[in-house]
Structure 1
């Protein structure tokens, strides 16, 4: 089966790590499956299914900047511990980050990007560049009005 018509690994029921849980993840999985069934290329849908939730993208952005510890992410993103914990677990489950224990008592982990996670750097850079180019232009036009 050509790569463009293969279903997303995370959308297949035989992949427990990628099994969707939240309503948003379920909708993303359904959309990816629908695109695949229609014979349309779905690499973008598959990628968005894995990292499309905006907290996940911001966590990867911060990890690319060198953050590794739960408290660093929580403070910088001003995110609730429960949401951060779930997003980090998802990123670990799909292979974008790895968890490493750095202290036993009390247990403390750090989260490090895998090769797949580091490969997202150009994607994050492109989002940043697009935002600077088009959002700043939009903000400038709004101020002139």
Structure 2
């Protein structure tokens, strides 16, 4: 594992990683903490800011050029920004169920699924995490599915106890 590839990456990629890693950790922490407290609101504001910054940074990253320099990941970025804004709106309005559902979806789509695809062979994060070894796409995809399944299981258990 070498971070030199990240240090040599374009500034947009460095900024993206600098915002998404704390967002992933902070988001998981927020899901495990009590809701509605002052600290939840503060950490939530920080998390939303990180997610919006992360999503905006993707529009300056063009590794996968599917459609005029953009890829389906960029569409996910639009949904992430929209979801964050909608979630804040619903929280302020008092519709906590909608707020919670949207935040869970944003975390799952924007962190777990999109993050999992960064570890596909040939991408910078794959090379940083696995070096020169080539993990197959099926293995990476299976890992994404396992993480997503665990995430959903934890959320389902938390709903039952709430």
- Shorter-chain TM-score tier: 0.3 to 0.5
Tell me the TM-score normalized by structure 2: 0.33
Larger Rg belongs to: 1
More helix by proportion, 1 or 2? 2
Tell me the TM-score normalized by structure 1: 0.36
More strand by proportion, 1 or 2? 1
